Amino acid sequence: MSDTNFVDYVKIFGRSGKGGPGSTHLRREKSNPKGGPDGGDGGRGGDVLLRGDSQLWTLLHLKFRKHIFAGHGGSGSSNQKTGADGEDVIIDVPLGTVARDAETNEILFEITSHGEKKILVKGGRGGLGNTHFKSATFQTPRFAQPGEPSIEGWFILELKVLADVGLVGFPNAGKSTLLSVVSAAKPKIDNYPFTTLTPNLGIVSYREDKSFVMADIPGIIEGAAEGKGLGHRFLRHIERNAVLLFMIPADCNDIKQESPLLVEELSKCKPELLDKPRVLAISKSDLLDDELKDAIRPLLPDEIPAVFISSISGTGITTLKDLIWRAINS
């Protein structure tokens, strides 16, 4: 996923179709000059729908498609013929897309499975023809019901990456390097903070042809819950991960304080994120000898399974996969 074509936030204007009006037609034939009302109903207006597509991973195709209009319903006609239904507009979106009302910021729904359809803007119902209003005492109604008006509004579509495990850590913790080693993903890697600006997904092979999806997410910094750094953009993408892999580099200033800081930022944003299974990896452990590793182990939290890894030498990678697989299936 390159920086230029991954889009996880778009704002669109959607308008449904209005319902067609009912017909006021009166039947007039040579054999039946006063046949009475026979006006048909109007057709329904078209809906604007979202449909999940497992082959999509970005909202790029909606970045420049700001206005989406469904078709209007057709008018009813003679002989009780119903008008044509308005054409629906179906927007394919990646799995994990959340639809919000732009004015109230209310979550309307989310798309989580392939082929799942949800109505974003519902079309108006067609009006009833005059045949519905006839009675024994009112045999020639010369009116019909108009169709319901269309509904329109601005909507926000947000993509929350769906993955089995999400890499959580401060910038430059070695998250992208790990993903590039354990999968075929090619994230941008460099020796400066915030090299990763958008999520990268990779499929990690495991034992006996098993696999799981790993997401490399932009680095978190202190104050992310208040929007600092990439802030809420980062936190949005870890909501859907089944397991959180905390990554702490061996060359950081204070290994003991790193994990509590990560936990604090997550708890400020969404406390329920801490209910997810967690695994701790000390990255860049090729910089450590056995004596230093023994000195660091007592500083690590007891409640989280931990492993020393090195993406360069491959040390601890198999053990890490075992811990992740166990957490996913726990």
Structural domains of the chain in order of their starting residue, each with its CATH number: 9-159 (2.70.210.12), 165-328 (3.40.50.300)
Q: How many CB atoms lie within 10 A of CB 324?
A: 25
Beta bridge pairs of residue 211: 205
What is residue 295's three-state secondary structure?
A: helix
Determine how β-strand 89-94 pairs with β-strand 48-53: parallel
pTM recorded for the entire structure: 0.69
The phi, psi pair for 257, rounded to 5°, reads -90, -15
Burial class of residue 195, CB neighbours in 10 A (0-12, 13-18, 19+)? middle
Low-confidence residues in the chain, pLDDT < 50: 1-3, 192-194, 224-229, 231
CB count within 10 Å of CB 89 equals 20
What's residue 108's pLDDT? 94
Whether the Cβ atoms of residue 170 and residue 219 lie closer than 8 Å to each other: yes
Radius of gyration of the chain (CA): 29
C-alpha distances (whole Å) from 270 to each of 146, 161, 225, 236 are 48, 17, 9, 10
Q: Looking at residue 189, what is its pLDDT?
A: 54
Beta strands in 116-237 (DSSP E): 117-121, 152-159, 165-168, 200-205, 211-216
* Dist. CA 241–CA 247, nearest whole Å: 15
Under DSSP, the state recorded for 304 is: S
Name the 3-class secondary structure at 215. Answer: strand
Pull the structure tokens for residue 318: 């198999």
